[in-house]
Amino acid sequence: MPSLTYQELHAGHADGIRAELAAALELTGPPGSLLRTSCERLLRRQPMRYPLSVLPLAVHGAETGDPEPALPLAAVHLLWWTAACRMDDLADADALTRHRAEAFLGSGPEASLTTLAVGTLLPLRLLDSPRLPRAVRRDLGAELTSCGLAAVAGQLADLGGGRGEPRRDAVLATYRGKSGAPFAMITAMAALLADAGPARTALWREFGDLFGVLWQLFNDQEDITSGRHEDLRNGTVTHLLACAAECAPPRDAARLRVLRPAARTSAAAREELLAVLLGEPVVDRFRRDLDAYRAMAHDVLDRLAGPAPGTGTEPGTGTGTTPGTGTAHAPRAGTGAGAGAGGAERRGRYLSCLRDLVDQASRCSLRTPAPIV
């Protein structure tokens, strides 16, 4: 069976994801109602540039050979990230950008309430749907709330990151919160839905956490290579900036402390700071960390590709447990990895999709400075 890219997986399930999203919006009221209109506007305004909503499909497919039962989770993932990106925009926006956003979505309070509905309330309703097995609904909801708390903590750390010298370990810890937590949430949810068992669910959560850091590093690079330079304008403490601070001799470190605040408003300062960030020692340090996280993500996938799980059982135990409780139960109908070479081949195809996603996210694209505007 040929390998599968995540873009191909999305192309095969895009209609199903759109249908799940439309069903979610029906929960907000009839067409034309204020809440539904506001939610629809937010989703139109914050389209995802990359179809990462397929991540739970790939995880469920890697466990069972069948991605489709995880379609509701794809909608949850998309809703959560739409709201998170909107909140990030509101936090980073200057007065002019915020005024334009409010003209589109209404007042600040209206935008905030809509974001709350899209990112938290709608996902909670979807996770409590009768379409999902009753045995896992509580655990799915717990994943959502735990993720939300970790992501908020990470975002608060990000907003306050301008104090003191940037350090790589501190920045990566922040990335694990604001980006790793939501990816860990959705991979763990897919594993719970697949009845993967506690040990494998923990591995999937670890994979999501690592992938979230990789995706944040990918976003950091794209902000530079695209020429947007939003991080420089916002004074964001990125991993690349921390690499520069750690690599810099004392004189250059002092210059960095001057350039960081100046780059918010000065194109000349942004250009000078960018030249430092794209210096060879800084990019080499960045690349080493990127390669380390890529290797760790692949290592987790290697462990998940080991002996195939049984039908809803934990390896070596012969019985399943209700996630989060330790209570034994019979495997749920329609779950489990499936038997035989055909099932293993199907599962392997979705694992290859996840490997492709890791490889695409972990490319180092930093080369030469993009134009400064």
Measured CA to CA, the distance from residue 151 to residue 40 in angstroms comes to: 24
The bridge status of strand 320-321 relative to strand 328-329 is antiparallel
The residue-averaged pLDDT of 297-322 equals 63
Exposed / middle / buried, residue 233 (Cβ in 10 Å: 0-12, 13-18, 19+): middle
With a cut of 80, say whether residue 243 has pLDDT above it: yes
The residue-averaged pLDDT of 337-363 equals 84
Between 90 and 142, where is the model more confident? 142
* pLDDT tens figures, 140-177: 999 999 998 998 888 888 777 656 789 999 999 999 99
Question: Residue 230's closest CA among 38, 93, 50, 84?
Answer: 93
Name the percent of the chain lying above pLDDT 90: 66
pLDDT at 313: 42
Cβ within 8 Å of residue 246, ≥6 positions away: 166, 167, 168, 285
Measured CA to CA, the distance from residue 111 to residue 22 in angstroms comes to: 20
The residue-averaged pLDDT of 61-66 equals 95
Question: Residue 362's closest CA among 185, 184, 217?
Answer: 217
pLDDT at 119: 93
Q: Two tokens at 299?
A: 């290592």
DSSP for residue 131: T
**Mean pLDDT, all residues of the chain:** 85
The residue-averaged pLDDT of 51-60 equals 95
**Three-state secondary structure call for residue 250:** helix
Measured CA to CA, the distance from residue 54 to residue 44 in angstroms comes to: 19
